[in-house]
Amino acid sequence: MEMKVKSHGRVSKRSQYKRYTRSRAGNVLFFTFLTLFGLFSVLPLFYCVITSLKPLEELLIVPPRFTVSRPTLQNFTELPGLLASLRVPLSRYIFNSVFIALVSTILHIICSAAAAFTFSKSKLKARTLLFTIVQMALLYNAYTLAIPQYLIFSKTGIIDTYWVYILPAIPSAMGCFLMKQYIDSAVPDALLEAARIDGAGIMRIFIQIVMPLVKPAWLTLFLFSFRDMWSIVPSGTIFSEQLKTLPQVMTSIAAGGIARTGSSMAASVILMLPPIIVFWLTQSNVMETMSSSGIKE
C-alpha cells in the first residue's frame, strides 16, 4: 500500500516537470516512430498466427489475405501425423525440449548464482581477475565458439547425448554477469555481517539469505536461459532421432512447400508461446534485474 502511494507521488511529480520540456512536435515524432516500429515488429508475428489458423483453401487464395475468414485448428491437429514418418512420436520431441530447457536452466541458475556470490562477496584474491574474464566472455556466444567447442565435445565424448545440450549451457557468461551485478546492488554487506554474527556459515548465508534476496535475478536468468534452450537447434552434435528437439523437427516441416505452410506456422506458434508466457510471468523482475546490468569501466 505504502509503495503504491509512493510511486503515485513520483509519477505526478514527473508529469508536472514534463510540461515544459516536452514539445508537441517532439511528441508527434515519438508517436509516429513508435507506431511504425511497432507495426514492423508485430505484423510478421501476427501473419504467422493468422496463417497457422487458415484452412488449406484459404492458404491457396491468390493474392494471400492478411486475415482468416474461417479459422481452424486443423494445422495444429495435423502436426503429429506429419511427423509419423520419423518413427519417433511427437511426445518424445516435446519431452526432450522441456527436459533440456528445464534441466539446463535450473543448473545454470544455481551454478551462476553460487559463482556470482563468490565474485561479489568473498575476499579471494583471484575473484576480480576471474570475474573480468567472465565479463570479457560476454562478447562470445555459442555461434562464435561453435568450432572450438565442437572439438571439446568430441574429445569429452558427449556428442549425441543430452549432455551436449546441457553442459555448455550451464556456464553462460551473461547469467553469471547479471547475477553478480544484481547481488552487488541488492545484497547489503551489513545483512551478511549480521547473519555471520548469528553464527551462520557461508553455505547457509548463500542458501538462506542470498538466494531468496536475488529472486528477481534468477527469474531473469530463467527467462533468458529458457528462451535460448527452448529454441536450440544443435549443429552437427546430435544424430539420434530420439534425442532431437522440437524446433529441430519443426524446421523440417517448413521444408514441405505451400501445402505445409499452415502446419509450419502452427509449429512456430507452438514454439513461441512458452517463452512469451515466461516473459509475462517474470517481466517486472526482469526489469529490476536489468537496471543493474551496466558494465562499469
Partner 1 sequence: MKTDAKMLKQPSFSKISTQSLGDRTSFVVLMLPFMILFTLFTVVPVLASIILSLFDYDMVSTPIWSGLDNYLRMFTGDKVFPIVLKNTLVLAVITGPIGYALAFILAWCISEFGPILRTFLAFLFYAPALAGNAYLVWSVLFTGDSNGTVNSLLLSFGLISDPIIWFKDAAYNFTIIVIVQLWMSMGVSFLANVAGVQNVSHEMYEAGAIDGIRNRWQELWYITLPSMKSILLFSAVMQIQAAFSIGAVITVLAGYPTVNNSLDTIVTYLTDIGTMRYEFGYAAAISVVLFALMALFRVIIGSLLNLLGK
Using CB under 8 A as the binding rule, the residues of this chain from 82 to 121 that contact partner 1 are: 111-112, 114-115, 117-119, 121
Please give the Cα distance from 214 to 191 (Å, whole number). Answer: 13
Considering the rule CB under 8 A, would residue 290 count as an interface residue with partner 1?
Answer: yes
Q: How far is CA 79 from the centre of its chain?
A: 25
Report, in Å, the least distance between residue 60 CB and partner 1. 8
Interhelix angle for 173-186 vs 215-230, to 10°? 170
Compare residues 87 and 258 and give the one whose CB is closer to partner 1.
258
Q: Out of 98, 103, 106, 254, which residue is the one contacting partner 1 (CB under 8 A)?
A: 254
**In this chain, which stretch among 67-75, 76-84, 87-95, 223-231 interacts with partner 1, using CB under 8 A?**
223-231
Of the candidates 82, 100, 134, 219, which one interacts with partner 1 according to CB under 8 A? 134
Q: Which stretch binds partner 1 (CB under 8 A): 74-82, 87-95, 256-264?
A: 256-264
Binding residues for partner 1, how many (CB under 8 A)? Answer: 116
How crowded is residue 109: how many other Cβ atoms within 10 Å of its Cβ?
A: 22
* 201 forms part of the interface with partner 1 (CB under 8 A): yes
Residue 117 CA to residue 180 CA, distance in Å, equals 7
Does 187 bind partner 1 (CB under 8 A)? Our answer is: yes
**Single residue of 73, 84, 191, 281 touching partner 1 by CB under 8 A:** 191
Cell numbers linked to 56 = 488449406
If binding is defined by CB under 8 A, does position 128 make contact with partner 1? no
CB of 242 to partner 1, least distance (A): 21
Q: How far is CA 50 from CA 54, 203, 249, 256, in A?
A: 7, 52, 22, 19
264 binds partner 1 (CB under 8 A): yes
Distance CA 181, CA 294 (A): 8
Q: What single letter denotes the amino acid at residue 295?
A: I
Please give the Cα distance from 35 to 182 (Å, whole number).
33
275 lies in the site for partner 1, by CB under 8 A: yes
If you ran DSSP here, which 8-state letter would residue 209 be given? I
> Of the candidates 12, 20, 24, 87, which one interacts with partner 1 according to CB under 8 A?
20
Using CB under 8 A as the binding rule, whether residue 44 contacts partner 1 is answered as yes
> Quick check: 261 binds partner 1 (CB under 8 A)?
yes
Q: Least distance to partner 1 from the beta carbon of 45, Å?
A: 6
Rounded Cα gap, residues 170 and 227, in angstroms: 14
Q: Which of 83, 176, 243, 249 binds partner 1 (CB under 8 A)?
A: 176
Q: Could you say whether residue 212 binds partner 1 (CB under 8 A)?
A: no
Would you count residue 77 as binding partner 1 (CB under 8 A)? no
Q: Which residue stretches of the chain are H helix?
A: 2-18, 24-52, 56-59, 74-82, 90-121, 127-136, 146-156, 163-169, 173-186, 189-197, 202-204, 211-213, 215-230, 246-254, 261-290
Residue 252 is a binding residue for partner 1 (CB under 8 A): no
